[in-house]
Chain A
Amino acid sequence: MVNAPKEGEKAMLNIFRLNDKMDGDAIWRGMFRDRKRVFVDILKWNVPVIGDYEIDHFDNEDAEYIIISDPETGAHWGSMRMLRTDRPHILDSLFPMLCEGEVPCGPDIRELTRLCLSPDLRARDRRKVRNRLFTSAVEYALMTGITNFTGVASLEWHQQLLALGWRAWPLGLPQIVDGDQLAAAMCEIDGETINLFRQAGTYDSGDLIHADTLLRAA
């Protein structure tokens, strides 16, 4: 069992690009391993697997990741992948039918994908790690000029995504895909978003360390 960060305790929060220190890095392997455990073993998604890892062709040098790991062991607690929308991504490549109009894309729009919480987390820690992940995504967006996030999710997840507090709207009607009800949505990140998260009780800030800084410190 792993313990989620206590109040005030810093979890390691990293934003990486794939070409930084891939091999032999426990944090990376932890994420890809938990992705397989969650998306393939538990959710039975039909996605490519390499050994113990779930990796697809969107895990390339353009992808960025937010990873929360145990500060002591480096064990993976939660992660999310951000894809550029001015390159092929999940919504435009796999699920364009979930958008009524044009698939939103541009240099300031990212797609959030592969939200993965470690199956080893206790129930109450899952919410905390999830809030940390989304808070980090918002903070990263504000720091780098990203104005919107898009995403595809099972309809069952939508209530929780809305409850984060941000301004969001649907991109099309939900559709049944491989027996699952999926829907695409977009949210807006602006000066109000952090307040909205605070009001919703989902704001949970931690250290944001960019991979470059880590490499220089190493």
Chain B
Amino acid sequence: MSQFVMVQDFVDQLRKTRTLPDLSNLLESVTSELGYDFFALVQHVDVRKSDNRESVWIGNYPMAWIEVFEERGLYATDPIHVASQRTNRGFAWSELGEFIRLNAHHKRVLDAASREGIGDGFTVPAHLPGDSNGTCSFAMKVGRTIPHESFMAAQLVGMYAMECGRQIVRRKQQEESDTPRLTQRQLDCLVHVSHGKSDWEIAQILGIKESTVRDYIEDACARYDVHRRVQLVVRALHDGHLTLRDAIG
């Protein structure tokens, strides 16, 4: 199969890809078809736009490497990450010196990766100014030669995969913001409602006034725009505020 046909198939399948695990499986397949051993898709959302820094990470690097990377906080000195900020073009890791001055810290990260079995690699920056920085990397097991002839195809794969990942994350955030939020106290009451307790009983259990219990439950109903407690419990179960375990006990 020609490389372009592989890319076309990949892009076609991306249309139907709605979850990060599905995206990961798809990337794993095309990575292997293009001749690479590992892939990693990383996206960091602009901190200024959101309160918490969200990152999306999918890939198949050896678990041992991921653990080392996280435990030692290597992200900050990862030369791949640093170099990816300096360019919009795909680059081979062997070219790192052209983008950054490789210091001892950088070399330590590369050595650590090598010890865990990751050899030569290629990274596709996939930044969106004002929105998020991202990279898609393809790497080889130590000792295996990287297929230079797949670089162009890999760049397309990386860019389209990044856009798909962004859309998945965005859709999830949209769904989460559409879901009504419940306060802890409302949830506490709701658990007991799902056990069939009356307002008086709930008030005894929680040590608050019966009228307060009624207020909490009415507020929760208002957030969901429903009038009956049964509807509230069902919706809260659906949205994951309550688990079946909470409700059934």
Whether a CB of chain A sits under 8 angstroms from the CB of B47 is no
Interface majority SS (helix, strand, loop, mixed), chain B: helix
Given A159-B159, A170-B11: A181 touches B128 (CB 8 Å cut-off): no
In the assembled complex, how far is the CB of residue A121 from the closest CB belonging to chain B, in whole angstroms? Answer: 14
In the assembled complex, which residues on chain B have CB atoms less than 8 Å from the CB atom of A183?
156
Distance, CA A158 to CA B129, complexed state (A): 12
Residues of B near A147 (CB, < 8 A) are none
Interface residue? A169 (CB, 8 A): yes
Which chain A residues border B153 with CB–CB below 8 Å?
173
Instruction: Report the minimal beta-carbon distance from A104 to chain B, rounded to whole angstroms.
Output: 14
Task: Categorize the interface residue count of chain A.
Answer: 20 to 34
Could you tell me which residues of chain B, from 4 to 20, have a CB within 8 Å of some CB in chain A?
A: 4, 7-8, 11-12, 15
| Size bracket, chain B contacts | 20 to 34
Number of A-B contacts (CB under 8 A): 61
State whether the Cβ of B27 lies closer than 8 Å to any Cβ in chain A. Answer: no
List A94-114 residues whose CB lies under 8 Å from chain B.
100
User: A158-184 interface mask toward B, CB cutoff 8 Å, 1 = contact, 0 = none?
Assistant: 111011010101101111000001010
A162 touches B163 (CB 8 A): yes
List A190-214 residues whose CB lies under 8 Å from chain B.
Answer: 199-200
Q: How near does chain B come to A169, taking the closest CB pair, in angstroms?
A: 5
A86 within 8 A of partner (CB): no
For residue B52, give the distance in angstroms from its CB to the closest CB of chain A. 19
Q: Is B160 an interface residue (CB 8 A)?
A: yes
Verify if B3 is at the interface (C-beta below 8 Å from A).
Answer: yes
Q: Output the nearest chain B residue to A163 by Cβ-Cβ distance.
A: B128
Instruction: Using CB atoms and an 8 Å cutoff, list the residues of chain A in contact with chain B.
Output: 100, 124, 127, 155-156, 158-160, 162-163, 165, 167, 169-170, 172-175, 181, 183, 199-200
> Interface residues, chain B, CB within 8 Å of chain A?
2-4, 7-8, 11-12, 15, 88-90, 126-131, 152-153, 155-156, 159-160, 162-163, 166-167, 170-171, 174
